Structures are given as C-alpha cells and as structure tokens.
Amino acid sequence: MAAVAARELRDGEVVFVGIGLPNLACNLARATHAPNLVLIYESGAVGASPSRLPVSIGDPALVTGSLMVCGMADVFQLFLQNGRIEVGFLGGAQVDRYGNINTTVIGSYERPAVRLPGSGGAAEIAVHARRTLIVAKLNPRAFPEQVDFVTSPGQGRGGRGRRELGMPGAGPVKVITDKGVLEADATTGEMVLAALYPGVTADDVQAGVGWPLARRPRLADVVPPTDADLRLLRDVLDPKKLYLKG
C-alpha cells in the first residue's frame, strides 16, 4: 500500500502528510521518483527532511533540517486555506461509498460505542487540498455504505456537490487499499473499482466493501513494488517496523 500510494505523488508537489502509512509513502516517494516533493506537516514543519521515520507528526526529526518551521495558525491559514496544498493524505476508521471519512465515533455521537480521536486536521485537509488520497485496508466494517459520522467530507451526499457547498478542493480522488484501488467517478462521485493487485479478483475487493461496488469497464493491474522499493521500505525507511506491520 505504501509503495502504491507513493507512486501517486509527482515530483515537486506539495503534500500535507499525515501520520502512519502516508508518512512512509511520502518518504518513499522522496527517496525514489520525487526527490523534490515538499512535505508539510500540520505541526508546522514545511519542507521537512526527516532523518528517521517520525513516530508522530510532531517528531523533532521533522524540524531538524526542514526549510521552514511555522506556527499552526500559519499552517492552516497561509498554506492550507491559501490553496498551497496539492495533495492531502487521509486514513480513517470508516470510508464510505462517496469517500466520506469517519474518524470521530462508531455509533451515535452522544453515546458512542467506540470513541475515535476526532478530526485533527483531517476535516480541513479534505475541504482544501486540491486532491486527496485515502489509504485504508479493506474490511466491510471499515467500508460501510454510509459512515456513522462525516468527519472529512467526500464527494457529496444527498446529491449536493462539493462546488455547490463551496469546497475549494476536488476531494478524495482515489482510495488505495491492500487489494485494489478505487477511484471517484467523475459524474456520480461514487468510489468505483479501478485497479487490482496481482492475484486479486474483483470479488475479493467486493468482499471487503459494504456496498455493491461498481467497476470500471477495464480494470488496470497494480504494478507490484520493485525490489528496490521493498529494500528501501524495509531496511532504510522503516527498519523498526513502525508502520510495516501487516
């Protein structure tokens, strides 16, 4: 997943990095095809160049050697709301048919069965980044028809589009999973199956999704990570297996 996500990033882009797998994907991209990727962390590090894989998005290694360190009011107002972020990476406990993400509660808000951490910067990243990429492992409970709580807005609900609601960014364009890649349909906004990992069938992906998954007429093959990618991930970027658990 990290290698597939890394390929989505183009050299020179400005990316708002979240913790976990996105962090690994961004650092892999920087070490391979996108050396000029600009990593911005909500903690205030701009153009970070971490010498160790950060455990949190506030790790001191993000500061050392970065291009700029600013306060969080600047991160959200001068970078994000200003429109400077090209790619936002989001994960979540639940992702639904239209790419809405829930990181707030499972169950009702007033009496949640499971209380999740909440938005952090995710809501505003989903609103403002020119495009967002979602990274999540397939599982029908994690991919319900509709999320219990919309923390980060996807491609619209009840037929109301993002533009109509005044959202500057295009929202989630892809969902990168551990079995295939979903893409937002340009007209309906629905997440549809677009590519499969080697040895995986469309039915395997459907089994991990809680709604009848539409398919592109021709499904692409996801190119597996190269040996060089794997060596970088396992030996250099995440030798302690902070994120490469699964």
Partner 1 sequence: MRDAVSRFVHDGDTVVIEGFTHLICFAAGHEIIRQRRRDLTLARLTPDLIYDQMIAAGCARKLVFSWAGNPGVGSLHAFRRAVEGKHASGGLEIEEYSHFGMVARFSAGAARLPFWPLRNYMGTDLPRANPRIRTVACPYTGEALATVPALNPGVTIVHAQRADAAGNTQMWGLVGVQKEAAFASERVIVVVEDLVPEAIIRSDPNRTVIPGMIVSAVVVEPWGAHPSYAQGYYDRDNDFYVAWEGISRDPDKLTRYLEEFVYGVPDRAAYMKKQPRLAARLKAKELVSQGVNYGF
* From 3-11, 51-59, 134-142, 187-195, span contacting partner 1 (CB under 8 A): 51-59
Residue 143 burial by CB count (10 A; 0-12/13-18/19+): exposed, middle or buried? Answer: buried
Interface with partner 1 includes 168 (CB under 8 A)? yes
Closest distance between partner 1 and the C-beta of residue 194, in Å? Answer: 23
Residue 34 or 150 with smaller CB distance to partner 1? 150
User: Which one of residues 6, 29, 39, 45 is an interface residue with partner 1 (CB under 8 A)?
Assistant: 45
* From 39-47, 89-97, 180-188, 216-224, span contacting partner 1 (CB under 8 A): 39-47
Report CA Rg, the chain.
17
Interface with partner 1 includes 44 (CB under 8 A)? yes
* From 155-163, 172-180, 207-215, 219-227, span contacting partner 1 (CB under 8 A): 155-163
User: Which one of residues 15, 93, 123, 135 is an interface residue with partner 1 (CB under 8 A)?
Assistant: 123
Interface with partner 1 includes 92 (CB under 8 A)? no
42, 86, 124, 183: the catalytic one is: 42
Catalytic residue status for 8: no
User: Which one of residues 13, 59, 190, 238 is an interface residue with partner 1 (CB under 8 A)?
Assistant: 59
The binding site for partner 1 (CB under 8 A) comprises: 19-20, 42-45, 55-60, 62-64, 69-73, 76, 80-81, 100, 104, 107, 109, 111-124, 127-128, 149-154, 156-157, 160, 162, 165-168, 242
